[in-house]
Amino acid sequence: MGTFLGIDYPTWWFLVVGALFSGYAILDGFDLGAGALHLFFRKEESRRIALNAIGPVWDGNEVWLVIGGGALFAGFPVVYASLFSAMYMPFMLFLCMLILRAVSIEFRSKEPMLWWRRTWDVVYSVSSIMLAFLLGVVLGNVLKGVALGADFTLQGHWLQFLSPYPLMVGITTVALFAMHGAIYLALKTQGRLFTRVSLLMRKSMIFFMVSFGIVTLYTLLYIPHLTDNFKQSPTLFIVPLAALLSIANVPRLASKGRYMYAFLFSSLTVALLLVLVAIELYPVLVFSSVSEQYSLTIYNSASSTKSLGIMLLMAAIGAPLVAAYTLFVFWTFRGKVKLDDSSY
Amino acid sequence: MDVEILSRIQFAFTVAFHYIYPPLSIGLGLVMVAMEGMYLYTHQLVYKQMARFWTRIFALTFGIGVATGIVMEFEFGTNWATYSRYVGDVFGSALAAEGIFAFALESGFLGVLLFGWNRVSPRMHFLATLGVWLGSMFSAVWIVVANSWQQTPAGYHIVGEGLQARAEITDFWAMVFNPSSVDRLLHVWIGAFLAGAFLVLSVHAWYLLHNRYVELSQKAFRIALAVAAVSALAQLFTGHHSAEGVAHNQPAKLAALEGHFDSLAVADMYLLGWVDKKREQTYGLKVPGGLSFLLHQDFKTPVRGLRAFPANERPGAVNTIFQFYHLMVAIGMFLIALTLYAVWQWWRGRLFSQYWLLWVFVWSVILPQLANQAGWFAAEMGRQPWVVYGLLRTSDALSKAVTANQVWFSLIMFTLIYALLFALFLYLLNKKIQHGPDELLQEGHRPLQEGISDWWVGKKKY
């Protein structure tokens, strides 16, 4: 097995996939959050500004999902195959919601009629909420364990993805993204809309903290295998601690009106929560609830060393490029939203 | 219906629907690069005006293309789990390269292309358009490489036995430059240029017939006609090369394309025809020995036919494959004749005075689309019963955890959503065309709209 800097290739690729999904969660997270809050804005002008706040960037943000999915397929084909076929329904719904969100953003501004715009507003908001929720449901199943049996194929009924823990993780994800999106909107709005946004921001922070508290408690009480890694190396406790501090810092900075820093810290929160997930899992990728031998780990599901080596090289060349033009686009559209003749 | 046929229908339906849009994006991207290039070169506002108009239509096709494209990526895992495990090691790196090198470029610069007209300089905007177009071209590279690997696997070895077997990559560049990838990539690219160019031709022919935007439409029509004529001719060569490749690498597919059954005999080329699979006969209007001549430059050289292959290694729907293939070829020939005639009229200075010709162009927009679809159906159905040619059968490639009911559910859901999507697409496309290009002020600003948001905010500065 190849190693680089003393770390084996599957672990490197685990980090790459983790980084891509974190990037997706941070970036599309605020789009989904803004979408989740969309119906709380009443005026047409407010909704247009809120939509145009994510207008130039949402599509680029969604790319992270495409790349993350590709990276999972490439690096851990067995996880890709087993998890996606086991979670057939959530993924199919997710795809539909993804399409509906994209078309609602595109189509909303194309007609002036009130019913047209109201309809797409509802589709946009509901699909954003559902996307965040379904992502959380899948994550919850991955953490709790999926009934993978022989050949890493799902056993039993396909409806078993619906159980309390995944649903709670789903709700928490909606809350996290709502908070994250509200802070993003605060950066992008002004005047009365801004006042409305900051009110929503406070509410969504409370919503997130309550739901996060419940999920944490449930995890500690009922899902013991997730804490194994922490018990083995207690220094890792620094991560949940950092996550808690980061969470606490978000409302502190927001209340001082330092929204840029609040946004950076809510991004950091999203990232740290995913690091937490990564530590809880490693080296497992999907726990099997049937038997430990059927759990998918980064070793029994990885591509060959050769393949991982090629792709790590690609990632090393590609990542700076992607980062460069992502920054360029954000720089071009920095500042408060201005509607012009090319807006949605 | 069982899971296999349902999953095949779902994949075929979602990918065929998806494939309406990427060729339009690639082709329109090329035409837009040409328009903005002309604007930079001549500084005539009319070129910027047409580029902005086509950008709005591009946004529509691109948006639907992305949304329906992610479905394809996920379906490999959801519906074709065994396939994903089998090819992941090889296929994955092509897909990862697509994401990192192509798709990110495309979507990253899309924001600047669509919303950056007033924020960046014309030169920077041209570079953004170029970036989006190149991104879409690179996307095609990796997707066609992956698909070509399924047609002509190379640069791999098989590890494991039976159900545990999977392909592992041994040589990345041999995988990328597998025997069919270059020919097929060129064929796909040019098919996309035709799709985009013919949309531009159609819309501007319609404007000219209705005496709208005459100066702009004549200029845009000429740009698109140049792209279309060169592409239509070039497609003849890439198509011929592809067919030679198929003859060499996938002889059973070639036999199906021409309905050639005799195990080793002189092969005819049909202009029109009908395959009777039961009697293993093909009827129709043919050039005797034509296929032999095309492949070997000799009317007498025998070619292997379907009977040379075991029954379980032949493509099933021979007549369907034959019809798709011949539809594609017929359209290709027609497009060459049409564009060459139009170029001749252009040279004579009579291009815009012949109404019937403009009407033909208005309706011809559908033809490259049909040819692209037909070509892919022929290529993919001709590969059957294999999903990876000679290695993995389609019937073995399914997800074992997925039931027919689940696929029914998703298939119906996709049908409904795509029907809605297609209706909206046509409606909005028509609306944008009816609306036409906006008049541009020199600065490209429209003070009225800024005024509205200023009024709402209640102050003038940002």
Q: Where are the domains of chain A?
A: 3-332
* Positions in chain A short of pLDDT 50: none
DSSP string covering A22-33, please?
Answer: HHHHHHHHHHHH
- How far B119 CA sits from the closest chain A CA (Å)? 7
| Cα-Cα-Cα-Cα dihedral sign, residues B401, B76, A304, A297 | negative
Contacts of B185 (CB under 8 A, 6+ apart): B140, B141, B144, B145, B148
Residue of B267, B300, B308 lying closest to B286 (CA atoms) = B267
pLDDT number for residue A137: 93
Q: Which residue from A73, A151, A325 is facing B92, i.e. has the nearest CB?
A: A73
pLDDT at B443: 47
Cβ-Cβ contacts under 8 Å, A71 against chain B: 96, 99
Q: pLDDT value at position B160?
A: 80
Task: List the single residue in A with minimal CA-CA distance to B86.
Answer: A77
Q: Is A95 close to B71, i.e. CB distance below 8 A?
A: yes
Of A70, A85, A102, the CB nearest to B96: A70
CA distance B145 to A127: 34
In angstroms, the separation between the Cα of residue B91 and the nearest Cα of chain A is 7
B63 touches chain A (CB under 8 A): yes
Nearest to A70 among B73, B406, B431 (CB): B73
Structure tokens that stand for B68 in this block: 């329906």
| pLDDT in single tens digits along all 462 residues of chain B | 788 889 999 999 999 999 999 999 999 999 999 999 999 898 888 898 899 999 989 988 888 888 888 898 889 889 998 888 888 888 878 887 887 788 778 877 887 888 877 778 888 889 889 999 999 999 899 889 989 999 999 888 888 877 778 888 888 888 889 888 999 999 999 999 999 999 999 999 999 999 888 889 999 999 999 999 999 999 999 998 888 888 888 888 888 888 888 777 778 888 888 888 778 788 888 888 888 888 888 888 888 888 888 888 888 888 899 999 999 999 999 999 999 999 998 998 888 888 899 999 999 999 999 999 999 999 999 888 888 888 888 888 888 778 888 899 999 999 999 998 898 889 888 988 988 888 775 544 443 333 333 333 333 332
Q: Which amino acid is at B297?
A: Q
Cβ atoms of residues B143 and B98 within 8 Å: yes
> Can you tell me whether residue A175 is helix, strand or coil?
helix
Give me the pLDDT at residue A155, please: 74
**Of A338, A260, A335, A329, residue with least CA distance to A49:** A338
Query: Cβ contact (<8 Å) for A63 and B103?
Result: yes
Tokens, residue B275: 């395959």
Residues of B in contact with A311 (CB under 8 A): 92-93, 96
Residue B354 forms contact with A (CB below 8 Å)? no
**B316 contact A CB<8A:** no
Residue of A nearest to B175 (CA): A307
Q: Report chain A residues whose CB lies below 8 A from the CB of B89.
A: 77, 303-304, 307
C-beta atoms of A103 and B63 within 8 A: yes
Cβ within 8 Å, pair B63-A102: yes
- Measure CB to CB from residue B424 to each of A60, A74, A103 and give the nearest one: A103
Report the C-alpha gap between A300 and A278 in whole angstroms: 17
Which H or E element spans position B216?
A: helix B214-249
Query: Residue B99: which of A70, A83, A338 has the nearest Cβ?
Result: A70
CA neighbours closer than 13 Å in the CB half-sphere of residue B137: 15
Contact residues on chain B for A80, CB-CB shorter than 8 A: 76-77, 84, 88
- The burial class, CB within 10 Å (0-12 / 13-18 / 19+), for B309 is middle
| Pairs of CB atoms within 8 A across A/B | 260
Question: Can you give the residue ranges of every domain in chain B?
Answer: 3-457
Q: Note whether B462 contacts A77, CB cutoff 8 Å.
A: no
Q: Do A88 and B109 touch (CB under 8 A)?
A: no
Q: pTM higher than 0.80 for the full model?
A: yes
| CB crowding B24-53: b at 16 or more within 10 Å, else e | bbbbbbbbbbbbbbbbeeeeeebbbbbbbb
- Residue A340 has its nearest CB partner, among B67, B93, B449, at B449
A59 with B107: Cβ contact below 8 A: yes
Asked if B88 lies within 8 A of A77 by C-beta distance, the reply is yes
Q: CA nearest A323: which of B79, B211, B284, B100?
A: B100
Structure tokens at A37: 């809050």
A315: distance to nearest CA of chain B, Å? 7
For the four alpha carbons of B398, B400, B405 and B406, in that order, the dihedral sign comes to negative
B171 touches A at CB < 8 Å: no
Q: Which 3-state string (H, E, C) describes B353-387?
A: HCHHHHHHHHHCCHHHHHHHHHHHHHHHHHHCCEE
pLDDT score recorded for residue B62: 86
Q: Compute chain A's Rg from CA coordinates.
A: 20
Q: For A70-107, what is each residue's pLDDT tens digit?
A: 888 888 988 998 888 888 899 999 999 998 988 888 78
Picking from B273, B266, B339, the residue whose alpha carbon sits closest to that of residue B301 is: B266
DSSP A19-82: HHHHHHHHHHHHHHHHHHHGGG--SHHHHHHHHHHHTTTHHHHHHHHHHHHHHHHHH-HHHHHH
Residues 217-246 of B with CB under 8 A from A: none
Q: Which residues of chain B make contact with A28, given a CB cutoff of 8 A?
A: none
* Cα A228 from chain centre: 24
**Inter-residue contact A9 to A2 (CB < 8 Å):** yes
| Site from A44, A106, A131, A313 to mutate, B interface, most B CB atoms within 10 angstroms | A106
